[in-house]
Amino acid sequence: MDRFRKLSLIRQILFLILIMMVILLISFIITNQIAKRIVERKVTDSVDKILLQAEEKMTSFYADMSEISTSLLYSPTIQTALTVEDKVTLVLMNPDLTSMFANTMALKENIRGIRLYNNEGTMLAIAGKEIGDSAKLPVQKTEYSGLLSTDGPHYTITVPIYNLKSLQIQDYMGACVFSMDVSNFNSILQNTKITPSSRFLLLDQNNKILASEGAVSNIDPIDLAEWKDDKRYIVQSVTLPHTGWKLINIIPKDELLRDLDTIQRLNIATYLVMSGMLGLFLLLFFSRIMRPIKALMDFMRSYSKMGSDSRFTIEYHNEIGVLASHLNKMLDEIDALGQEVQLTQKQKYEIEIAKKQMEISAFRNQINPHFLYNTLECIRALALHNKGEEIADISASLSNMFRYSVKGNDFVTIRDEITHVKEYAQIIGLRFAGRIQVEVEADEGLLDRKTLKMLLQPIVENAVFHGLERKRGKGVVRLTVQPLSDNRIQYTVQDNGCGMEEEQVQELLQRLRNSDALVPEAKGDKQGIGLANIYRRIKLFYGDAAEMDIQSQLNAETIIRIAIPAHDNAEVEEGTNRVQGIDR
């Protein structure tokens, strides 16, 4: 949004028009796609109903064939023929069997022939057209074959025959094979086409066409997966029970959606008309608004070169002319008040900078008298016990700390700041005889980066004297320096000391965030002095980019986190020198 506001007005208008055109185009495309999906869904629902009707007709056909086969095969004549072992008797029964087969073929015109087999697979009788032997015997249930091309397209229905008089369940006696013409399926598929070029197919188990509507039947297998993957067609299928055959409906999308071309042409015409109107708007906008504004902007850019006496020539008697008139009046007022305003601003900035520098210097030079007193008492006690080496070590550490605190620069490396903390840790270790330890863990890549001077030692000291000094047993202060993902550095000081209650933590944070409070409000609150010092200093140097957070649990721990920007060393040095120059 900020980048958009920085663009020129004409670019903003062009950008908005471009967005409008894109949105309009997208709406047209989405509308067209929605219309296509609606049409496809409606057609799909219609095809589902047609498939359901065709499936019901096929189910009715299965039922008819089941009744016919049951009536024929479980007649006394057939049952006797399958149990007779005398061949002469079987020959004498052949005319009766042939007559029954002929009567059955008369019931269904598409029955081309009937063959009867015993349980050994030997053919006992045949009627109708002679066909090849394609049945696989024995069978346990009624089976429909696929498309057979011998002696013309046909298929077979193999029905098992069981002995009704046997006490055994499903006592197999033989089977009957019906040779069926595929022409009867054409009547089932009639009036199933949705569009002129659509296809409605009946496929067998091998995807061969048994019957079709809208295409010439053939015996070549159909690759159903290839049809379904073709985006140019809408393909729906249903697998029939009992046979495993498939009903397939194939509709070309371009033929189905041909009526939507009118809507597309209307959308294109609307889009072109809108483009022309927006172009006319741009022309009027440029000539009546942008050109006068550009003239006014050119005058404002060249005003400093033309002199304070120059004024804009009013040529337009519209809102731009009113704006130009007010501009000329404003320039008159600026000329009258310019020198006074500049002088006032200069004095204000100088006072503000001096005030900030004084505050920074006061914070940096502040030394904790309590710490100095305790350190000197420790030196005196060590001297009384003639511990010369320890006196030398603690004196050297104290000397290094004082020398470090009076360095001229406000920024030092993190390595120097950590070294300062370690000097303090050595003094604390000697004073408390090792009961309190200070541990430091820092990212090696951050040690040479610049940071605010005297930032870490006061926090560590605060943790020692307000968290660990009253604690029984050993205490540990852990200092961690690590980078953050937002190009900042986080300092974490954690101790396992006395801690604070949640109310005390919230009260302390509230006082720290009060920009006017340089010292705690409550008397005797020693802990808040050092933290207020640190908080005030990081806010003065880094502003809102610096953060301090305090977490504590009573009789458990206290954690103080400070996050400051990871500035480049050159930038920090330049900013430090500039502030010090004001101080001098």
**Domains within the chain, CATH numbers bracketed:** 266-338 (no CATH), 365-583 (3.30.565.10)
> Average pLDDT for residues 67-82, to the nearest whole number?
89
pLDDT of residue 456: 92
φ, ψ (nearest 5 deg) of residue 178: -100, 125
Over residues 97-109, mean pLDDT: 88
Report the range of poorest mean pLDDT among 290-294, 458-462, 512-516, 561-565. Answer: 512-516
- In this predicted structure, what is the pLDDT of residue 357? 61
pLDDT digits (tens, 9 = 90+) for 187-216: 778 777 777 778 888 888 888 888 888 755
pLDDT at 198: 81
Q: Are 263 and 39 in contact (CB under 8 A)?
A: no
- Closest-CA residue to 245 (of 48, 51, 44, 69): 51
Read off the pLDDT of residues 543-567 as tens digits, 9 standing for 90 and up. 888 999 999 999 889 999 999 998 7
Average pLDDT over residues 571-577: 48
281-287 long-range contacts, Cβ below 8 Å, gap at least 24?
Answer: 282/13, 282/14, 282/17, 285/13, 286/10
The percentage of the chain sitting over the pLDDT mark of 90, rounded to a whole number, equals 14
485-502 mean pLDDT: 92
Dmax over CA atoms of the chain, in Å, equals 143
Mean pLDDT of 422-442: 89
CA angle 543, 547, 549 (to 5 degrees): 150
Residue 439 — pLDDT band, cuts 50, 70, 90? very high
> CA-CA distance, 155 to 129, in Å (whole number)?
13
Spatial separation of the C-alpha atoms in residues 300 and 287, rounded to whole Å? 20
Q: How many helices (H) and strands (E) does the chain have?
A: 17, 16
> Higher confidence at residue 348 or residue 181?
181
pLDDT of residue 475: 92
For 518, residues 6+ apart whose C-beta sits below 8 A from its C-beta are 532, 533, 536
pLDDT at 476 over 90: yes
Joined tokens for residue 267: 């959308």
Res. 82 pLDDT band, cuts 50 70 90: confident
pLDDT band of 522, cuts 50, 70, 90: very low
pLDDT band per the 50, 70, 90 thresholds, residue 16:
confident
Q: Work out the average pLDDT over 400-411.
A: 69
